[in-house]
């Protein structure tokens, strides 16, 4: 087993304005603070639309991949979201 320990070095709260893109808003706030990676611990709010991918069998080495995006139109409320995966902000910008 490989075990790594770390700590929380910086935390911030972000408020996005109505109509502001979720990913772009979070990315811009983190880049402005000099962060290169992170995780969303919690969020509440509403979305004007949403899209996501599901895992599908593809017959490749891991026998999986992403299917076509599923798009949800209309207003969607986020009562609580936790554990969104971390990514490197520089890779998105």
Question: What is the pLDDT, as a whole number, of residue 82?
Answer: 55
Determine the Cα–Cα distance for residues 22 and 26; give it in Å rounded to an integer.
6
Domain assignment present for 16: no
Domain assignment present for 52: yes
From residue 31, give the alpha-carbon distance in Å to each of 9, 74, 91. Answer: 15, 30, 11
Residue 81: which pLDDT band, with cuts at 50, 70 and 90? Answer: low
State the residue range of the domain holding 72.
Answer: 22-92
Domain assignment present for 27: yes
Evaluate if residue 2 carries a pLDDT over 70: yes
Domain assignment present for 80: yes
| Total domain count, the chain | 1
pTM, two decimal places: 0.57
Question: What is the pLDDT, as a whole number, of residue 80?
Answer: 64
Domain assignment present for 14: no
Domain assignment present for 10: no
Domain assignment present for 87: yes
From residue 60, give the alpha-carbon distance in Å to each of 57, 68, 81. Answer: 8, 17, 32
């Amino acid at each position: 087993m490989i075990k790594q320990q770390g700590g929380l070095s910086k935390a911030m709260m972000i408020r996005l304005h109505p109509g502001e893109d979720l990913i772009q808003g979070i990315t811009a706030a983190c880049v402005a603070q000099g962060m290169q990676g992170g995780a969303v611990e919690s969020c509440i709010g509403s979305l004007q639309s949403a899209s996501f991918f599901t895992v599908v069998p593809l017959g490749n080495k891991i026998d999986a991949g992403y299917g076509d995006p599923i798009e949800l139109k209309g207003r969607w409320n986020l009562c609580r979201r936790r554990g969104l995966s971390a990514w490197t902000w520089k890779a998105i910008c």
